[in-house]
Structure 1
Amino acid sequence: SNSIYLGGFNREPADNQIVKGITIIYPSQQPIVGNGSNTLVENVKVFNFEKGFGGICVGSQSTVKDCYVSTDTRVLTAFGSDVTFSGNLLVGLEKQTPFYFGDRILDDLQNITIEDSTVVGDWDPLFSIRQAHFGNLKNFNVKNIRAFYTGRKPKAQLVGLGVGFSPYRRGDYQGSIQDVTVSDIQITALNDTPSLAVSAFGFSEEAPVRNVSVQDITVNGEPAVFSPAIEQCAYNVTLGDTTIKEGKRPVAKAPKRNYPQVDAVKNPDKKYPRRDQDGDLYGWDVAHQVAYPSAKQKNDPDFPKTLSAAYGNQATGASLKGIKTISAPEGDFLQTYAAVNDPRMYTLHSPDYEVFVSQKSSGTPGADVPVYENIGTLMNTGQRLVNPPPMLTEHFCNFTHRGPVEVTVTMKERAPVIKEALIMPSAAGIKPTYSADRKSFSFTLSGPQFIAIIVNGDWVRPLFIFGNPAEEPAPDPSDKAVLTIKTSDDFKTLKNRKKLDDHRVIYFEPGYHDIGMFFPVFSDQTIYIPGDAYVAGTIRGVNRDNADNHAYGTKLITQNKEIFDFRAFKKGYQNADDYVYMGRSNKAAQEFLGSIENFTIRGRGIFSGEQMEWYKGQETVPGYIILVDRSGRNGVLEGLTFVGRHFHSANFFGAPSLLANVKTLYGFHGNTDASQWGMVRRNFFSVEQDDGTYIKNGLDIDGWFAWQQNNANTFCFARSMPSDGNTLGHAHVRNVTVIDGRYGSTGVANLSKGQYNPMRGGFWLGINHDRGNHNFSYIADIVMQNIYFETIVNPLFQFAPMTGTRHNKMIGAEDITFDNIQVPMGQNWKSIFGGRPEAPDDVMRRIVIKDLVIGDKKITDLDEFSRTRSEGPNLDIQIKSTDR
């Protein structure tokens, strides 16, 4: 995304570079970016007329001098120590930060000098350091700055310092800001003379702000009047002649609500009768019956052992009967895959990690396993934690095995030596053995499983090792019923797309394939991607009779008629003739695409949505990496690794259906929800920066490793309730490991100022949509069992509806059990339970929390970890404990 990328953020050599004398006009985001050492940027002019585009970012031992930059956000910044910014002229826009340092700094950063420069703009603040990771940021010296303030606010932000919450903070990994000096700042206010705000807050005694001096500051020739906001864990802050030894924690405020009051009724159960269509068919407590069967039920061979069996939701997918297949070996075995190398791939090869795997039990010789890397999408707009670099990266590898395997991870040449390696899930108890030179470590996987490894506390560069279970027999590409697609074939053309509906199996040979958008899958068809294939594109389920509606997917679908008025089309970046309109409703989608049944998409290969555009209006194009209409039946999705997506992952709400052994990566920005493929999901992995899963009737999850990035929730119970009187629920979710990576805000903020944002929570009841025909409804019969959180949760439960009362007069939550919830790292903010203050008939009853451990304490009382938003008979939260 940069006009000039100097390298260094991805281990590539980037030292001793010079950018001098050039002029950049209409730059892309962050015009000059580098993280190598000894960079010189001199006499460079950057002319920018858009907001949110950033400026110049350099690495250690670098100098930026005599430059002109017109932009508004993070104009000058550094990711290394011993950096000087001198003699620069910065012309900004509104409410942004000329000098900004921090966010996710992993290593110590020190000795930063900003001097002899001029700034023009409405800044907020002029100088800022924020930290949400573990590096110690110290010895900043800002001096001799001439600033022209163009704003009209009575209070202008001069300095902002903050060490914020990090879900990954633990042990020695804390972070701090200290020894900051700001002096000789001459401000000319072009409008009224403002006071100058100086703010500072830390997170804890171990993660503080310390030793700040702000001296010799004038506004319009007079000594500045300061407006300090020195808050908790900020120490020794001097403003002129006044020293504040220790800041004060602000009083937390509840979120504002301004909704009409609902009158209580005399007989709520009669006024708001619960209806439950699934409960009438399968039992109103079917999820609890399955999760906690009686002795008689356990001995009854006809009693369903899973919720999906109770619902009859057992998918088989497309049949391979009559087609030659290749079966996995009997007994213990290990299968590895050849690396895919193609310059068109958005996924790279890891610059950090090498993985070697062997299996003694089968005598399989050891082999190197290709380790790939995804790099996060750069977002430079606003004060976002995902902005600027270092971006989150994802390093991953796949192999398939039965029986134990021995794994060795080696750090590549430019990667650091290993201080420690954290292997998750922690419950697996996998401990590394380190080499003498601390450049590698080894461990044993007892059987197929998905793990995440964090080296040296670097949560920006996780390594995911996917030990896949043995496959069902795979189609043999030599069979005549199999269409084998070669890497040289072009299946973006209408001619080749029409060939697809004549074959029962579509098989991609090893290597890179660009199949384009909306590649069709038909009824009674299998798409197979082997472990040494990389396929770029998206897939849509299409009835053969409907394929002409979008020319077999060679035309892009949009569900917004106004999309053609967006700038992307008016400026010629997008061509209206490439698109076809499909209505927004479920009925319109079904009529356009049609229904399919008996289909399978599987393999051990990589499927990338990198063909997706990402621009204003793109959200109206069905951007799922795989999408099948909910009217379809009997769909199986198994084994693939998803990357490159800019929207939700695979989506199919038909039944029966099955998702198994799928790895969903690339959760780098909002709308990257995890897979919502049917109601039966087994042994899967996901990284998402939007909701992990919604509660749906019949949802049956067993075995999920979820990494939730800084947006939305792993467990989103509901955004809107069902229509009047109906019930949402009958779900069983168990054996889940969660890395909860939510920082609690879009920037490094002081979370102590407010009762925690109700849009967050490990378990999020939510209900934030107030819709017509939803005047009263219920969510019920849900069991969440054996859930383990690897990080600090912020908070654990947000079980208080958010919605207003214009339509929703009564919300009922009942018969929900949370069993064996483990949060060893604790929660940063108290949980919350209760109905809406304006809706006295909201009810929460028979909510059971059993065997809850937070930190090292087993919880025995609700007040130990939660607050309540309502009291009395409508709130029934039961805390229980059993001996295990």
Structure 2
Amino acid sequence: MNDAQSTGLSRRTLLQAAGATAAAYSLIGAATGTARADDAPASADKLVVYPIPSGVPTNSSFSVKARTPGGEWQTVPVYRARAKQVDANTGSGPVFNSSVATFDFSGTVEVSVTSAKGAIGAARIRPLSYDTKSTVDGATVSFTLTEPRNLSIEIDGEIFNNLQLHANPIETHAPDPDDPDVIYFGPGLHKTTDNVVKVPSGKTVYLAGGAVLTSRVEFVGVENARLIGRGVLYNSPSGVLLQYSRNIEIDGIMVLNPSSGYSVTVGQSKQVTVRNLHSYSHGQWGDGIDVFSSEDVLIEGVWMRNSDDCIAIYTHRWDYYGDCRNITVRDSTLWADVAHPINVGTHGNTDKPETIENLVFSNIDILDHREPQMDYQGCIALNPGDSNLVRNVRAQDIRVEDFRWGQLINMRIMYNTKYNTSIGRGIDGVYIKNLSYNGTHANPAIMVGYDADHAIKNVTFQNLVINGKFIGNGMKKPGWYRFEDMMPAYANEHVVNTRFLTSTEATSTTKPAITSPDKATATKNQVFNYLITASELPTSFAAEGLPKGLDIDTATGLISGTVRDNVGSCTATVSATNSVGTATQTVTFTVEHA
């Protein structure tokens, strides 16, 4: 299938479709120094601002400017996003306008945000963990950034009519518009006749900064393909559909106000990386990223503000079948206006039970969670139903801010008759390390097994801190209290071997044993993910002799990157360490041609 058939437009037609907008963009770039993102060294102070095409809704609640130190101020256009809140009394869902601005920069950038409402009483910039210093002068809040950030600027406590700012890294190695393997959308508003762009194997869809596409992007039964750039999928049906595919990369785009469905669906696929995605939804069942029956998936650096689950991980649903394993979510910010920031386990296969295993959630800020229904609460929800077994889950360095309504944690073996046809098989092995919550709105957390045969086993909390108070061994509490009482949380008799440890206590009395495969196959010049897994709750990981282009996250054991090594095989030594000792294993990495 050629490019014209796959999109309804040829690459050259796509470029021509940008028309006057593209020409205007070139003039703007020439005048302000924003024409190309990769003209200057990454270490230099540089700012790239992209226009919003005519016909795409903007918002006037804020005026945003940015500049490099000593440079001229540049106007940063503001998109109109939509956000939803459920009325707990009626079930209706009022929708509010919100604001989103984006630019690229390197070095240092100064930002000025002016509220159309006038004088600012107080300004808050979140995530709070960034501790972004700002000054307020009348109706303007100003601050300086020295590294990429995804931020919410909130004036006088307003969380709907707020400004979400995506200060991205400078884009490098943008593809050539005339590359035959690139489906190129230049600046401007783009529509396709059937509202779908089908991506063939080996192709890259590139949304340039200032490009807005109203179509769904589909990767179906393909491999070695990408969707990259700084453009926007706006009002598209279901955002990105990725199914039955391998070696797929999504990087840098925004999914804004999808007309239906999820922002990104990953179904029965392998070797998928979703990076620096920004997602906003306001529709019913407006999930962010949902992963079904897939393996070796990395989600990193994303910002998700959604009207349903931000990140959901399941096995079988619809036409997706099989286990789900080796899923990593890291360095991200989650904001659920409805339902869960993180939800695992609801959907599965009663006839042929499946397993969800080896999940890692690391370095995550949860800004909000609001869910009136008890069945769907939990900033972190592990709720296996449909005969699913959930095992080997690691959640570490998770910072939860004062959400509006819900629970910090909800672990239940489910039989939700609305969605399930059988009871979940259980939860076995959950390690929650460095989880902190500061707030007053959390309902008691819940950990409930269904019965003795469908239980929750081997849950370890290490350095759990709630409102500044550590929960665990060594804390002062009445002797007849359980740690769950101090959390507070309810745990029934079918929750077995739960531990609450200090930050320095040993996680095990036995050294680890590595359980991940001793062979892995990568494709040259394609994204690759390999998760080291091991028993006995390792606290660090290492690897030596990896193929070129791959790095290891020593905190989680994820080996990831784009393989640059020559075709062939090499061996590497991977290791997992806890306080008792270190386990090693030789892994053979085979690199294939695309």
Aligned runs of 1:339-488 on 2, under 5 Å? 339-343=51-55, 345=56, 348-360=57-69, 364-376=71-83, 383-384=90-91, 386-387=93-94, 391-412=95-116, 415-435=117-137, 438-477=138-177, 479=178, 481=179
Q: 2:383 aligns with which of 766, 771, 777?
A: 766
Superposition deviation, residue 705 in structure 1: 0.8
Cα deviation, residue 661, structure 1: 0.8
Q: Distance in 2 between matches of 1:868 and 1:801?
A: 14
1:800 matched to which residue of 2? 412
Deviations 1:723-762 (A, max 9, x none): 66753211111011112231424xxxxxxxxxxx132111
Per the alignment, do residues 845 and 796 of structure 1 end up closer, same or farther by CA in structure 2, a change over 3 Å counting?
Answer: same
2:47/2:109 contact within 8 Å kept: no
Aligned residues between the structures: 438
1:683 maps onto 2:301 in alignment: yes
Aligned to 2:356: 728
Q: Which residue of 1 aligns with 2:265?
A: 651
Aligned partner letter, 2:470: K
Written as runs of structure 1 = structure 2, the 5 A alignment for 1:496-507 is 503-507=180-184
Q: In 1, Cα distance between the equivalents of 2:429 and 2:422? A: 21
C-alpha distance in 1 between matches for 2:82 and 2:288? 18
User: In the TM superposition, what is the alpha-carbon distance from 1:707 to its structure 2 partner?
Assistant: 0.8
> Which residue does 2:401 correspond to in 1?
790
Aligned to 2:31: none
RMSD: 2.7
Q: Is the 8 A contact 1:833 1:866 kept in 2?
A: no
TM-score normalised by the chain length of structure 1: 0.47
Shift of the 464–726 alpha-carbon distance from structure 1 to 2, 3 Å rule, reads same
Q: Which moved more, 1:372-381 or 1:716-725?
A: 372-381
Matched, 1:529 2:207: yes
Q: 1:807 to 1:603 in 2, by over 3 A?
A: closer
TM-score relative to the length of structure 2: 0.69
| Partner SS, residue 699 of structure 1 | strand
Is contact 2:371–2:377 with CA below 8 Å preserved after alignment? Answer: no
Contact 1:759 1:766 in 2 (8 A): no
CA distance in 2, matches of 1:702, 1:833: 24
Which amino acid in the other structure matches residue 657 of structure 1? Answer: V
Q: Percent identity?
A: 21
Amino acid at match of 1:372: Y
Structure 1 residue runs without a partner (length 5+)? 1-324, 482-502, 543-594, 613-623, 746-756
The alpha-carbon distance between structure 1 residues 863 and 633, as it changes in their structure 2 partners (threshold 3 A), is same
Amino acid at match of 1:661: N
Structure 1 residues 464 and 804: CA distance shift in structure 2, 3 A: closer
Map of 1:125 onto structure 2: none
Q: CA deviation at 1:721?
A: 5.0
Match for 1:359: what amino acid?
Answer: T
Structure 1 position 642, deviation (Å): 0.9
Cα distance between partner residues in 2 of 1:399 and 1:519: 25
CA distance, structure 2, for counterparts of residue 725 and residue 831 of structure 1: 28
Q: Quote the residue 2:431 is aligned against.
A: 817
Aligned-partner Cα distance in 2 for 1:869–1:859:
15
Q: 1:878 aligns with which of 495, 499, 522?
A: 499
Q: Measured at CA, do residues 519 and 369 of structure 1 come closer, stay the same or move farther in structure 2, by a change above 3 Å?
A: same
Deviation at 1:856, TM superposition (A): 2.7
Q: Does 1:833 find its partner at 2:478? A: no
1:842 and 2:454 matched: yes
Residue identity in the other structure for 2:464: L
Q: Deviation digits for residues 417-469 of structure 1, max 9, x if unmatched?
A: 2111110110101121011xx11011111201111111111112121110111
Q: Which residue of 1 aligns with 2:342?
A: 715
How does 1:88-237 map onto structure 2 within 5 Å? Answer: none
1:606 is matched with which residue? 232
SS of the aligned residue for 2:166 comes to: strand
Matches within 5 A, 1:860-871: 860=472, 861-871=483-493
**Alpha carbons of structure 1 residues 722 and 822: separation in structure 2 relative to 1, 3 Å:** farther
Larger Rg over CA atoms: 1
Aligned partners of 2:78, 2:431: CA distance in 1, in Å?
40
CA distance in 2: counterparts of 1:439 and 1:652, whole angstroms: 43
Deviations 1:847-868 (A, max 9, x none): 0111112223222222112443
Task: Classify 1:428/1:804 alpha carbon distance in 2 versus 1 (closer, same or farther; 3 Å).
Answer: closer
Aligned to 2:330: 702
Q: Are the equivalent residues in 1 in contact too, given 2:411–2:447 (CA < 8 A)? A: yes
Q: Which amino acid aligns with 1:368?
A: T
Residue 443 of structure 2: SS of its match in structure 1?
coil
Is the CA contact (8 Å cut-off) linking 2:332 and 2:365 kept in structure 1?
Answer: yes
Q: Distance in 2 between matches of 1:456 and 1:358?
A: 25
Conserved? CA contact 2:426–2:456, under 8 Å: yes
Which among 657, 663, 671 is matched to residue 278 of structure 2?
A: 663
* Richer in strand (by share): 2
Counterparts of 1:735 and 1:409, CA distance in 2: 28
Question: Separation in 2 of the partners of 1:844 and 1:605?
Answer: 44
Residue 553 of structure 2 corresponds to: none
The residue number in structure 2 matching 1:555 is none
| Amino acid in the other structure paired with 1:717 | V
Q: Do the aligned partners of 1:722 and 1:728 also contact (CA within 8 Å) in 2?
A: no
Secondary structure at 2:325's aligned position in 1?
Answer: coil
